[in-house]
């Protein structure tokens, strides 16, 4: 899995602590974790294309969440970075086998494909069940000062 997924989730999480309407440039978000600014910008662009973030150019511009944290699941973020297709893609090699049937869709018929798909669906369901709001709540419960500190860091120039 791409490393940008980790960056994207943490960046989106930080955005949940900002006041509504406030935008943060990609360079500032990159400085938070000392990441390559241009590359993080690329990932944030993907999130914007997926409708998770909205981007505004120009001074005082940057990225902000496009909808409420309750409506953004980890699955959404992962799909935005990694692409929509599944990790295990059935190439239907049974079609090349000796006992093939012409009009059969082996993506649904093949028992192996079904088993792999079932496992992947369990993974996706687990990710879809966790929203940014859930993550944020857990973090705040463990470290109540996180929201204020994060917001202050993005507001000031402090490292």
Cβ contacts of 22 within 8 Å, gap of 6 or more: 64
Segment 83 to 102, residues that bind a copy of itself, using CB under 8 A: 87-91, 93-94, 96-99
Instruction: Encode burial over 28-44: b for 16+ CB neighbours within 10 A, e otherwise.
Output: ebbbbeebeeeebbebb
The token pair at 87 is 């990790």
Burial class (CB in 10 A: 0-12, 13-18, 19+), 4: buried
The residues with which 131 forms a beta bridge, in sequence order, are: 73
33 binds, options DNA, a copy of itself, none, Cβ within 5 to 8 A by partner type: a copy of itself
Rounded Cα distance between 141 and 90, Å, is 42
Segment 58 to 117, residues that bind DNA, using CB under 7 A: 58-63, 82-83
Nearer to DNA, 107 or 140 (CB): 107
Nearer to DNA, 83 or 129 (CB): 83
Nearer to a copy of itself, 63 or 106 (CB): 106
Which residues contribute to the site for a copy of itself (CB under 8 A)? Answer: 1, 3, 5-7, 9-10, 13, 32-35, 74, 87-91, 93-94, 96-99, 111-112, 115-116, 118-120, 122-123, 125-127, 130, 135, 138-139, 142-143, 146, 149, 153, 158-159
């Amino acid at each position: 899995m791409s490393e940008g997924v980790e960056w994207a989730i943490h960046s989106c999480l930080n955005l949940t602590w900002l006041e509504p309407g406030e935008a943060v440039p990609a360079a500032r978000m990159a400085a938070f974790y000392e990441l390559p600014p241009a590359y993080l910008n690329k990932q944030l662009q993907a999130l914007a294309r997926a409708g998770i973030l909205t981007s505004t150019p120009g001074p005082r511009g940057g990225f902000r969440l496009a909808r409420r944290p309750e409506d953004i699941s980890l699955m959404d973020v992962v799909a935005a970075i990694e692409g929509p297709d599944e990790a295990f893609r059935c190439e239907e090699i049974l079609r090349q086998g000796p006992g093939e049937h012409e009009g059969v869709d082996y993506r649904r018929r093949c028992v192996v494909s079904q088993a792999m798909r079932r496992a992947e669906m369990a993974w996706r369901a687990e990710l879809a069940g966790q929203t940014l709001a859930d993550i944020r709540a857990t973090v705040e419960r463990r470290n109540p000062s996180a929201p204020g500190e994060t917001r202050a860091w993005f507001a000031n120039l402090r490292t």
